[in-house]
Amino acid sequence: MKMTGGNSSGDSEITMDDVTLLIKKKDEIEEQIKAYYDVLEDQGVGVEGPLVDGEGFPRADINLYQIRTARHNISCLQNDHKAIMADIEEALHKLHAREKAKREQDEMEAQEEAMERQVALPRPFARVDAVTEGSPASGAGLRVGDEVIEFGSVNTENFQNLQNIASVVQHSEGKPLRVSVIRAGQKAQMSLTPQRWAGRGLLGCNIVPVQR
């Protein structure tokens, strides 16, 4: 493929600038072809008109050299135009193919990163199955379905039963607790302060253990 700007070493170097240059060259060729057609039109012969009279002698009413030159140049330029159109099509195809491959690679890397993050997360030991509107838990951003991996000093490693969480809550009234959960496959952190409110308990949510 004949690329402008010296970018013939490989597909990886094809850019939109190369395509733009090819299109500019195509436009220049089309302008030249039109100019030569104008010459033929001025002479009144066109591309196929006869250059000899009825007796077979060169016509004296036209500029034979100018016409032959114009016809020859039109033929050459049309070949150039066909070739550059093929170059443009090929360049666009390769450019689009490379962009598609890059998008697919980016998507694959994003999926791999998401999987790595998911694998790196601790296993949850409890799950939130109810959150009351207007409660401390609701205000902290806790949601139904959140899988708990850290609740204050309680974590996956030291959790034994729900009494561990109850004990932390009772001893932390009015004090913020760091709560970490897994939500939609990603880790989310929030600050939850156990405190008296209009409803029951200090949290306003229900937490159940996760079967291991």
* pLDDT for res 32: 95
- Read off the CATH number of the domain in which 205 is found: 2.30.42.10
- Do 17 and 79 lie in one domain? The reply is yes
Asked if 90 and 148 sit in the same domain, the reply is no
3-state per-residue secondary structure call for the chain = CCCHHHCCCCHHHCCHHHHHHHHHHHHHHHHHHHHHHHHHHHHCCCCCCCCECCCCCECCCCCHHHHHHHHHHHHHHHHHHHHHHHHHHHHHHHHHHHHHHHHHHHHHHHHHHHHHHHHHCCCCCEEEEEECCCCHHHHHCCCCCCEEEEECCEECCCCCCHHHHHHHHHCCCCCCEEEEEEECCEEEEEEECCCCCCCCCCCCEEEEECCC
Are 85 and 134 members of one domain? no
Taking only the tens of pLDDT, the chain with its 212 residues reads 444 444 444 445 788 888 999 999 999 999 999 999 999 988 888 888 888 887 888 888 888 889 999 999 999 999 999 999 999 999 999 989 988 999 999 999 888 777 666 667 888 999 999 999 999 999 999 999 999 999 999 999 999 999 999 999 999 999 999 999 999 888 899 999 999 999 999 999 999 999 76
> End of a domain among 66, 94, 119?
119
**Whether 168 and 78 share a structural domain:** no
**CA dist., res. 159 & res. 126, Å (int):** 9
46, 93: one domain = yes
104 and 151 part of one domain: no
pLDDT of residue 54: 79
Q: How many domains does the chain have?
A: 2
Domain of residue 204 covers 126-209
Select from 196, 212, 110 the least CA-distant residue to 159: 212
